[in-house]
Amino acid sequence: MKVQLLVTKTDFSVPNIEREFRHLGIGYQVDYLEDHPDLVARHNIRHSPNILIDGEMAFRYHPTETELKKFFFENKLRH
């Protein structure tokens, strides 16, 4: 599973999201929107942060740790 954190270089929420991913043991990569205009256009991104999972938009906002747990663990257990 490829998890991409799509953010602007000035997004102050990045350290918090990274901490949540590390706490949950979720691997991720950070991609800056300024460096990826193709992703901005493809996903119609208007703000930061955004989270892509395997190339699909999962969150267009900063999810809570509870939301991340539900998405990554509870939803996966049902499949």
Q: What are the residue boundaries of the structural domains of the chain, listed by start?
A: 3-77
CATH class given for the domain over 3-77 = alpha beta
Predicted local distance difference test score (pLDDT) of residue 76: 61
Beta bridge partners of 59: 51
Indicate the SS3 state at residue 63: coil
Identify the segments of the chain with pLDDT beneath 50.
78-79
What are the contacts of 67-70 at 24+ separation with CB within 8 A?
68/20, 68/21, 68/24, 68/26, 69/24
Predicted local distance difference test score (pLDDT) of residue 59: 97
pTM recorded for the entire structure: 0.89
Q: Which two tokens stand for residue 66?
A: 């509870």
* Contact call for residues 31 and 6 (beta carbons, < 8 A): yes
Nearest alpha carbon to residue 5 among 55, 50, 61: 50
